[in-house]
Structure 1
Amino acid sequence: MSASPRRFGRSFKPFKRPWLWAGLWILAIACVVVGSLLPSSDLPSVKVNDKVEHFVAYAVLSAGAVQLFARRLSWGFVCVLLVLMGIGLEVLQAQMGLGRMLDRNDALANTIGVLIGLATAMTPLRDVLLRFDRRL
């Protein structure tokens, strides 16, 4: 009798390398947190509107959740947490006194990014990482 393969978690898709993909996603979250809390003078100058940066960052994090998790409930839970994280980081920026300020439009761009990333669940793109993982 052969042992069945152990799953990473009930909500995760059946990856060969779940720790790798989950680790990279958590690293991306950490990068957004650190980038949000660094003084603006310590950040590289990018020739893009900062609202676009917020939108793209949170869309990528949300789409990453769609790639990792198999269950809709997990997608929703993670997306709510991402929206709350974006709002919380805006509040922290204002309270830390490092030359950053709370910007409601940044929080709105984050939220719209989360929704767009979540919308990838309704497309054939939702299993791209799983297919890539199986080819490796």
Structure 2
Amino acid sequence: MSKIPYTSRRKGRYYFRRKARWQNVGDYVAVIPLATCSAKDARLRSNSMVGRFEELKGVVTTMIEAGTVINQEQTQQLFDNELRLTLDRFVRPPWPRPMDDLRLVEPIDGLGQSVIITVADTAD
């Protein structure tokens, strides 16, 4: 079994785990469930999370160097919110309903426009 960077597996579920250290702020440890049991999905989600984690780490480092006062709670809140938003892009689909519930209907008015209706709207 191959090792997926920055992930751990507990009870069959994958978790993203990463640590950041700053001298003035302290440590931040991210442990975020990846909402999957699939190694393939975990690898994809983890890679995205690593990229976002590094961006956020750079932002916090820049803030500290600029003299912005930031405490450990603010750092934790920033990382947790942003990493969960990154994960939501993979877990939640961008459309409101599953595409399986939609049918494409050929134009009946001759204007060349297709109409999408839901399966629930049709009486079979």
TM-score (norm 2): 0.33
TM-score (norm 1): 0.31
- Choose between structure 1 and 2: higher strand proportion: 2
Higher relative contact order, structure no. (Cα contacts within 8 Å, ≥ 6 residues apart): 1
